[in-house]
Amino acid sequence: MTTTAPVVEVLHGAVDLHCHSGPNPFAREFDHVEAARDAERLGMRGILVKSHHHNTVMDLLAMKRELSEVSTPVFGGIALNAQVGGINPYAVAMSLRMGGRAVWFPTFSSRCHCENDHHGFPESDVEIPNRIIDVTGDDGKLIDEVYDVIDLIVESDALLSAGHVKPAEAHAIFTAGRERGVRRMIISHPNFVIDADPGQCAELAELGAYIEHEVGMYDPMGFRKWDPALLLEWIRKIGPDRTVLSSDLGQRGRPMPVDAFRRVGEELLALGLGEDELRQVACRNPAFLLGLDAERPDPVAG
C-alpha cells in the first residue's frame, strides 16, 4: 500500500488515544517526546500515552520542557493494574488532579487477560510481579472502589476505559459510569484479548461507549496484519459515530503510529469508507474523548 496526499489531508488533526511510548518496563521503540514529534508529522491535535505499569502523567511533567518544543500536545493517565495498587482511588485522584485525562480499568492484571494467553504481549525488561485485579466481588457486583474511581472520573470529566475486562464487566462499568455522569467512555480492541463480538459492542455503544480499533493491528507492517476489510466491517456494524481509530503502537520493532495511520487510512478509503467517516473515527470522536472538544461531534451524513 502506498500513501497519497488525500489521506494525509483527511487525517490532519487526528488524535491517538492509545500510544505505548516509553519509558516503560516493556521495551519501547520511542519515548513520549519522540511520539509527539511523530504525531507532529500528521498535524495531530493530541496523543494519549498509556503504560500498563504506572501513571504516565508524571513522565510528561518530567519531559515538559522537551514537549513544549513540539506542536502536538501529549496527555497521560493511569491504568489500574497491580503495580499501582489495583482499583486504587488514591492513585486515580493524584493522576487526574495533576492533569491526567484517562483512567484504564485493569489491563494485564484483569482476570480476562491473566486467565488467557498473553496474545503476543511484549516481555518486560525487568521482572514485574503481577496479580489478578477483579472489578467485581464474590457476589458478581462491582466493588465499591470502582464507584469511587468513577466519581473521580466524573469530577475531572476524564475518559473512562474498560481496559481488558470481560465484556460483561465492561457493560457493568459503563452502566455505572452512565448513571453517575461519565461522558467519555471507551473499550479497546474488542476482537483482541477481550473477545467482544459486534452485538456486545453495539450494546456498549448504546450505553454511550465508543469502540476503539487499532491501526497497528491492521497495518501490514504491524502486529496482527489483519485485513483492513475486517476493520471496515466493524465500522459498518457499529457505525462511524461510535468508532475510534487509535494506534496501539510503541512496541519495539513495530512501525511509527503516523505511518500506520496513513497506510490503514488509505486502505479504508480504497475499500469505500468515506473521507468524512474517516475523519469522524480518527479525528473528531477521539478529540471529544480526550477532552479537546467539549461536546460530541455531530453525526456523519448518510
Q: pLDDT digits over 207-233, tens only? A: 999 999 999 999 999 988 999 999 999
Residue 15, domain CATH: 3.20.20.140
Q: Is residue 298 part of a domain?
A: no
Q: Is residue 302 part of a domain?
A: no
pLDDT at 51: 96
pLDDT at 122: 66
pLDDT at 127: 85
Q: Is residue 64 part of a domain?
A: yes
Q: In whole angstroms, what is the distance from residue 63 CA to residue 124 CA?
A: 23
Residue at grid coordinates 491501526: 215
Q: Which is nearest to 242 in space by CA: 197, 212, 218, 279?
A: 212
Q: In whole angstroms, what is the distance from residue 213 CA to residue 230 CA?
A: 11
Q: Is residue 230 part of a domain?
A: yes
- Domain of residue 155 covers 5-289
pLDDT at 121: 64
Q: Which is nearest to 165 in space by CA: 100, 81, 90?
A: 81
pLDDT at 114: 86
Q: What is the pLDDT of residues 55-97, one digit of tens each?
A: 999 999 999 999 999 999 999 999 999 999 999 999 999 999 9
1 — pLDDT class (breaks 50, 70, 90): very low
Q: In whole angstroms, what is the distance from residue 232 CA to residue 190 CA?
A: 14
Residue that wins the pLDDT comparison between 140 and 114: 140
Q: Is residue 165 part of a domain?
A: yes
* Count: domains in the chain: 1
pLDDT at 3: 46
Q: Is residue 213 part of a domain?
A: yes
282 — pLDDT class (breaks 50, 70, 90): very high
Q: In whole angstroms, what is the distance from residue 302 CA to residue 33 CA?
A: 39
Q: Is residue 299 part of a domain?
A: no
Q: Is residue 301 part of a domain?
A: no
Sign of the C-alpha dihedral computed for residues 95, 96, 98 and 101 taken in this order: positive
